[in-house]
Homo-oligomer: A and B are copies of this chain.
Amino acid sequence: MGDNQQDKMSRRALPVAAAQEKVISFCGKLTSEFVSLSEAKGRVLAETVKAPHPYPHFRRSGMDGYAIISSDTAGCSAQTPVHLEVIDEIPCGSLPSVALVPGTAARIMTGAKVPDEADAVVMFEMTEATDGESGYYVKLKREIAAGANITPVGLELAEGDVILEAGQIISAGEISVLATFGISEVAVIRKPRVAVMATGSELLAVDEPLQDGRIRNSNTYMLESQIRDAGAEPIILNVIADDLSTARSRVLEAIEEYDLVISTGGVSVGDFDIMADLVLGDEMEMLFNKVMMRPGSVTTAAVRLGKLLFALSGNPGACFVGFELFVRPAIARMMGIEQPFLKEVEAILAADYPKINAYTRFVRGRIAVEGARLRAYPAALDESSVMITIKDSNALLVIPPTTEGVQAGELIKVLLLPGVAG
């Protein structure tokens, strides 16, 4: 026990940013696949999409009214109105049925194609319909400028304009734009397959009866949800009891099979830390086994076959933070997202945070907007509520190393947690 303990005690801690950098350097973009628009939500575009045609692709009426030849309204006023014969009626989706000539107009709906001969649309509410000798007339009482209420071809986008960039996450707006251009199937990065294995003979399955001295395996379910939220496909493997040779073979198999492997549990500085021993073996290249952060300082990452293994803490709070700081960005980068880290903003600390720490502390909490100012509330100040506060957080407050704590009112950095209802 002595020597091994010594090795683990002498872990060299990396700053968080350096550890993140190391992880990201091993994340290659995965291959792509085609999905239908209905399945595209939440996926990441594999290729930049350009407009296959101009938009709008025909001269579009911006109003319900009458398509006219604007020169017919020269000198028109309330005193000297102009009457145009209505010779066509153009609903949306229909084409003009007859060519306009001077002195005529076409009733037209919003969004319908303007006849080629017309150069203006006059709003319905500005007109009066009158019955004349030979048909139905529209009475105009002012001059109409050429171009009025007509959206020209390509006003929004020309053919070939970029409409969406590779690496974009697809949500409702992107789907609307893709559908507008008739793109019914879209190339997206395939979902990373992420395996989760818990280690620790203290773990009970969630549906097992409670036993004295043992706790339920909650991290696996939490990670499953976080993995799905990050856009990847979770695969839950069996719990590994505290046995180094079993753990070694199970981990090596998982690395062969999946794109990324996470273990949870077994990284405290104790006698039964399987994963810590494993990453020190010959099969893997260890990237780091200690990070200058709380919680989760013993977060470990290693590489084999170009694939990442993360050993996250068994403590639920530390496991959650380790996932958000390291695993989520790795998944994001594998999906081709350029900026893969949690979004960082500044906020005003809303309550004193008296704890001192030599490492940066990532404190779960809530952000709230009050009079356009962002305020950050730590979820709890004492370790005791570690488990229950996971559910109440929408942000990680970044408390820098401090020997005196941080006062309410100070500006701090905050990492926003995606996928959590605000």
Q: Which residues of A line the B interface, CB within 8 A?
A: 37-38, 41, 53, 55-58, 62, 64, 91-95, 107, 109-113, 124, 151, 155-157, 163-164, 169, 171-184, 200-204, 206-210, 212-226, 228-229, 236, 242, 268-272, 314, 316, 320, 343, 345-348, 369-375, 383-388, 390-393, 411, 416, 418-422
Contacts and interface: CB of A to CB of B under 8 A. Distances in A.
Nearest to A346: B372
Contacts of A176: 218-219, 221-222, 316, 320, 387, 390-391
26 contacts: A55-B387, A55-B388, A58-B212, A64-B270, A92-B272, A113-B213, A124-B269, A156-B384, A171-B225, A171-B420, A172-B225, A172-B226, A175-B222, A175-B224, A176-B219, A176-B221, A176-B316, A176-B387, A179-B220, A180-B316, A182-B204, A182-B210, A346-B370, A372-B373, A416-B422, A418-B422
A422 to B, nearest CB: 5
Contact of A216 (B107, B180, B213): B180
A207 B37 CA distance: 11
A347 B372 contact: yes
Point out which of A58, A107, A206, A268 has the most chain B C-beta atoms below 10 A from its C-beta: A206
A182 B214 CA distance: 12
A52 B372 CA distance: 42
Nearest to A269: B64
B387 A177 contact: yes
Contact of A179 (B107, B179, B201, B206): B206
A201 B271 contact: no
Given A176-B391, A387-B156, A92 B171 contact: no
Contacts of A203: 93
Given A221-B179, A272-B91, A57 B390 contact: no
A421 B221 contact: no
A175 B93 contact: no
Contacts of A202: 91-94, 111-112
B91 A179 contact: no
A272 to B, nearest CB: 5
Contacts of A316: 176, 180
A388 B156 contact: yes
Given A64-B271, A418-B421, 10 more contacts: A107-B271, A109-B268, A112-B213, A124-B269, A171-B421, A172-B226, A173-B392, A173-B393, A369-B374, A418-B422
Contact of A222 (B172, B222, B388): B172
Nearest to A416: B422
A156 B201 contact: no
B422 A173 contact: no
A16 to B, nearest CB: 21
A111 B215 contact: yes
